[in-house]
Each structure stands twice: as C-alpha cells, then as structure tokens.
Amino acid sequence: MATPARVVEDYLGHLAVERGRAENTLRSYRLDLARYVEYCASLGRDELGEVREADVAGFVTALRTGERPLAASSAARALAAVRGLHRFAVVEGLVGADVAAGVSPPSLPSTLPSALSVDQVDQLLAGCVADGPTGLRDRALLELLYSTGARISEIVGADLDDLDVEARTILLHGKGNKQRIVPVGRPALGAVEAYRVRARPDLAGRGSGGPALLLNARGGRLSRQSAWHVLRSAAEASGLPPETVASISPHTLRHCFATHLLSGGADVRVVQELLGHASVATTQIYTHVTVDTLKEVYATSHPRARG
C-alpha cells in the first residue's frame, strides 16, 4: 500500500543512499514532507495515488496562510521536496501520474545578500576575543569562514587532515559530498595554528579527541548550531550598529567573501569554484551587490556621466 508516509520513507532512503544527500538536507526534507503527510491525512488521502494537483497547490497555500505561515522561500523549499517525492513515486511505479509537476512555487522577493564592508568584517572578527581554548577556537572558526567563503557546515565538518598548512589550502566537503580545495589566507592560518597548538590539545583531552578540526568544550566535533552562536556572539560584542548586528546570518561571512573578491576584480567563474556553486548563475547574484561601486566610479570619472 503506497501510503504517503511509506513513500516518504522510501524516498528519503533513496536520497540518502543513492543520491548521497547531506544530513542537513535530509533533515529539511523530512520536516517538509512530514508536513505534507499530515496535510494529505487531513484530506483523507490514504494513498499517494489519490492525491490530485489541486491538493498539492492547496498544501502550498496552507503553508503560506496557516496559523504559523512560512516565508515564500520556505514554502518553495517544501514544494521542491514534494515534487521530488511525486517524481520518485512515478519512477518507482507507485503512482500513474506526477500531479505535483504543474504546481508553481510562490513568488520569491528579489533580495540581494547583505554584505559587510571590509572594515566591518575586521570589527566583527575583533569582537571574538582569542583568549582561552574556546576563544582561540572561535577566532579560528570565524577567520576560516571569511578566508574561505565556506558554509558553516563545511567548516565544522572539516578534519585536521583536511587542512594543508604547507600548501595553505583546506579540503571542503560540500553539498552532495562534492569536494573542493580552497586557499586559506595567512591571518586565518595564523589563527588556526594558535588554536591547534594552544587550545585543541586541551579540548581534545576532555573527550575522545577524534579527527575534527574544531572541537567543542567537551572534546567532540563543534556543531553547526554552536558555530552560528559563536558568530552571533562576536557580532553582538563587536560594537557594530544594532541594525547591522540584526542582519548577520550564518551566511554573512560567505557573502562578504564573495562580494569582496568580486569588488577586488576576481573573475566570477573563479569565485564560483571557490564557493562550490554548480552554476555560475548562482554566483552572479553577488555582481549585483558590487554594481553600486561601478556606478560610483562611473559617476565620478566619466565626462558624460552627469550630462
């Protein structure tokens, strides 16, 4: 019997084993699809083959207008999970038609990623006091995030052997188990070396040690949530304006990395490789951030700019 709940479990297993999806991605899919299973049950759809296109569209509407409405981006992500579920069901011969294919996601607002200036990044990093084992670790974490443009999950997932101090590079494990080698700047290497020599042995002694580059206070691998808390604490201690602090997110230093490289003249395809984007179109959003700088230069330099 192809109940929605049963197909969801088979689909998640397919994503984990055959598609190699990351644990964070699987967690998001499981949450979104649990909502979908609950919604199907409320409609009395005991089998996935009973679901109609109007039901899928109604699910998206319910996400946007329910007691705790989701943002358009979150609803679009949930619909992507549902679409994948129905495609899987068709391929596996569990249902006869893909009823989710024609359902459109909600319109997303056209927003650009916020990026701090170089001086503001310096101020943010200075908000992290490199004192004591956890302080040295926190500074190494933030310096690595800005130096490499890595996602927080990629940095906390890095092992000691992934960092090549002599080559000044780090091996990052990105989405879909894709790997890439990224250069590491000297300030970040200095912060990591201070942590490795003066802090990591202490932290490792509190637990089983393990291969993780960044350890928590109990000697285990630093979690993504704890790393985000480190960034947030540094922002609050930095003295940056409250509105700037409020805008800081887990991706802030990644945005700054990309924006500052492009502002400095880096080729967008190089930045694409460094960020681990599958398509250059994903990276090109950052060129919109730097276009203001180009306009300023044009306005002050071109003889016809003020005409």
pLDDT in tens, 19-34: 887 788 888 899 999 9
pLDDT in tens, 120-142: 999 999 999 878 999 999 999 99
The percent of residues above 90 in pLDDT, for the chain, comes to: 65
pLDDT band at 291 (very low <50, low <70, confident <90, very high): low
* Exposure string over 57-68, b if 16+ CB within 10 A, otherwise e: bebbebbeeeee
Active site residues: 151, 175, 251, 254, 277, 286
pLDDT band at 68 (very low <50, low <70, confident <90, very high): confident
- State the pLDDT at residue 210: 87
* pLDDT(85) > 70: yes
By the 8 A CB rule, do 147 and 154 touch?
no
By the 8 A CB rule, do 41 and 34 touch?
no
What is d(CA 10, CA 221) in angstroms, rounded to the nearest whole number? 30
By the 8 A CB rule, do 239 and 119 touch?
no
Q: Which residue has the higher pLDDT, 45 or 298?
A: 45
What domains are there in the chain, each with its CATH number?
4-91 (1.10.150.130), 118-250 (1.10.443.10)
